[in-house]
Amino acid sequence: MGDKKGFQKYPRELPSKEAANHRIAHFKEFYLPPQKNLLSQQSARCMDCGVPFCHQACPLGNIIPDFNEAVHQGNWKRAYQILSATNNFPEFTGRICPAPCEASCVLNINSDPVTIEYLEKSIIERAFKEGWVQAAKNIDRNGIAVAVVGSGPAGMACADQLNQMGYLVTLYERNDKIGGLLRYGIPDFKLEKNIIDRRIEVMKAGGISMLTSVNVGYDLQGDELLEKYDAVVLTGGATIPRDLPIKGRSLKGVYFAMDFLEQKNRMVAGEVLSEAANIDVADKHVMVIGGGDTGADCVGTAKRLKAKSVTQIELLSKPPTLRKADDLWPNWPMVLRTSSSHEEGCDRQWAMLTKKFVAADGVHLSGIEIVNVTWKKGEHQNHKMVEIPNSKKVIPCERAFLAIGFVHPQKEGLLNQLGLALDQRGNVATQDYRTSVAKVYAAGDMRRGQSLVVWAIAEGRQAAAALHQDFFGKESIRQGAMLAV
């Protein structure tokens, strides 16, 4: 522990953000350089707890008190070594993780948590700057060929782990570029794509073969895949969006959020769109249906593309700003979250049920009809939605984006060809990442359902560990513990 009184001396502080009205003029990240001494002071706030709840809450098991201490000592290389032992891509989690570690930080009981996520980002950025992030070298190859299908964070982490353990890894992606939702879901203002490209170069130089524009299950059949490789890891994500099949769903102007976000991510990357394909929001009233991360990304993107107004509606009631009495630390708090996109200007409404999409001309969306609802506790402590009488109204809008989650992975094609068992929710069923078909593994959103980047990385690592154990036995995992688990 660098400074016993650090948490008393220094308040939690993060670098300032560019003002909202300036940052919506571009798609770049918008944090300003940190003030002098910020990192040394913020790392000094860590109490090096005997029972570090931050570590327990991190799906990767990041050894947080130790890298905080190393930062405080100015030993950045050591901090990088500690961080990269458990996290393949701190440059992603350091930018876009909701940071369950911070929610569980002991300081968060009665004060503000340590700025763990920002310290993580600072460590990895320093490591890239100093040239410490190097491609894996002199790997003792074991001759076992593995295909990893799907190149989001789960596939990337799995491929990275297996490569370092000596496997001959081919990472397949049906899109034209590697990265999954990191590239085509999450906008640049949260994660600039050069950050992904930088990592891809390191992974390729370390020996991972990456094949893009290959839709496995169509361009390469499931049986060919099993024949060609000794093992297969499926990391294709939960790509089927939840629909809202109400009246007017097929009107022009109603889209899935991902149709909008993918198009705009491609636009920011320099791809040119035809006018007909362009989902134009300039000077339009935009409605985002769904209050989560995907919805917030639609808000920030629509603001940058000069929407006249942006409204985000949510079916559930407005959460409290502070934890309720039965919502206890160190659990993830069920409180109101305000993202940087919300700060940029958005009308947020809660407890609203969308009844139908409306078109004044019968073709183009002109509004959505909603009713207000309340949530009442039912017999079995479950919450029941009740419509409020006479609350029906039409909110004018010309564009509506459905951001109400994803239901399961795509079954047509590869999953059906392999005949994999699915769980009740339609995700790939596994036992410790092993699917119902021998030598086929699954990880990430395809296995656990729609989740988070940090979970995808953790699952990719764990699937690699399960595969390695099947080829080389339990002992091999213990020997390579820092790599594999």
Ligand X SMILES: Cc1cc2nc3c(=O)[nH]c(=O)nc-3n(C[C@H](O)[C@H](O)[C@H](O)COP(=O)(O)OP(=O)(O)OC[C@H]3O[C@@H](n4cnc5c(N)ncnc54)[C@H](O)[C@@H]3O)c2cc1C
Footprint on this chain of ligand X (rule: CB under 6 A): 96-97, 149-155, 172-175, 180-182, 185-186, 190, 215-217, 235-237, 239, 261, 293-294, 297, 413-414, 444-446, 451-454, 456
- Regarding 357 and contact with ligand SF4 (CB under 6 A), the answer is no
Shortest Cβ distance from residue 21 to ligand X (Å)? Answer: 23
Count, residues near ligand SF4 per rule CB under 6 A: 15
CB of 433 closer than 8 Å to CB of 443: yes
User: Nearest-CA neighbor of 256 among 185, 310, 193, 304?
Assistant: 185
- Regarding 159 and contact with ligand SF4 (CB under 6 A), the answer is no
Specify the residue, 122 or 161, whose C-beta has the smaller distance to ligand SF4: 122
Which of 46, 154, 296, 418 touches ligand SF4 by CB under 6 A? 46
Specify the residue, 100 or 290, whose C-beta has the smaller distance to ligand SF4: 100
- Regarding 105 and contact with ligand SF4 (CB under 6 A), the answer is yes
Helix (H, G, I), strand (E, B) or coil at 335: coil
Which of 24, 44, 79, 106 touches ligand SF4 by CB under 6 A? 106
Specify the residue, 180 or 480, whose C-beta has the smaller distance to ligand X: 180
The span of 45-53, 123-131, 383-391, 410-418 binding ligand SF4 (CB under 6 A) equals: 45-53
Provide the phi-psi class of 68: left if phi over 0, else alpha when psi is between -120 and 50, else beta: alpha
- Regarding 54 and contact with ligand SF4 (CB under 6 A), the answer is yes
Half-sphere exposure of 179 toward its Cβ, with a 13 Å CA cutoff?
25
- Regarding 52 and contact with ligand SF4 (CB under 6 A), the answer is yes
What is the rounded distance in angstroms from the CA atom of residue 321 to the CA atom of residue 151?
A: 37
What is the rounded distance in angstroms from the CA atom of residue 362 to the CA atom of residue 420?
A: 44
Specify the residue, 85 or 214, whose C-beta has the smaller distance to ligand SF4: 85
Tokens of 146: 């593995």
What is the rounded distance in angstroms from the CA atom of residue 370 to the CA atom of residue 376?
A: 19
**Identity (one letter) of the amino acid at 449?**
G
User: Strands 309-313 and 285-289, how do they pair?
Assistant: parallel
Which of 53, 80, 167, 406 touches ligand SF4 by CB under 6 A? 53
Quick one: what does residue 217 bind among ligand SF4, ligand X, none, with the CB cut-off 5 to 8 Å set by partner type? ligand X
Quick one: what does residue 222 bind among ligand SF4, ligand X, none, with the CB cut-off 5 to 8 Å set by partner type? none
Quick one: what does residue 65 bind among ligand SF4, ligand X, none, with the CB cut-off 5 to 8 Å set by partner type? ligand SF4
- Regarding 49 and contact with ligand SF4 (CB under 6 A), the answer is yes
Quick one: what does residue 49 bind among ligand X, ligand SF4, none, with the CB cut-off 5 to 8 Å set by partner type? ligand SF4
**What own/partner pairs with CB < 8 Å and gap ≥ 24 does 131-137 have?**
132/77, 132/80, 133/80, 133/84, 133/202, 134/202, 135/202, 135/203, 135/204, 135/205, 135/206, 135/207, 136/163, 136/164, 136/206, 136/207, 137/206
The H-assigned helical ranges of 33-99 are 38-44, 53-57, 64-72, 76-86, 90-96
Q: Exposed, middle or buried by CB within 10 Å (0-12, 13-18, 19+), for 408?
A: buried
How far is the first Cα of the chain from the last one, in angstroms, to the nearest whole number? 26
Quick one: what does residue 149 bind among ligand X, ligand SF4, none, with the CB cut-off 5 to 8 Å set by partner type? ligand X
What is the rounded distance in angstroms from the CA atom of residue 446 to the CA atom of residue 138?
A: 33
- Regarding 60 and contact with ligand SF4 (CB under 6 A), the answer is no
Element (H, E) at 164: helix 153-164
- Regarding 44 and contact with ligand SF4 (CB under 6 A), the answer is no
* Per-residue binding letters, 109-148, with ligand SF4 (x by CB under 6 A): -----x-x--------------------------------
Residues at the interface with ligand SF4 (CB under 6 A): 46-49, 52-54, 64-65, 68, 105-107, 114, 116
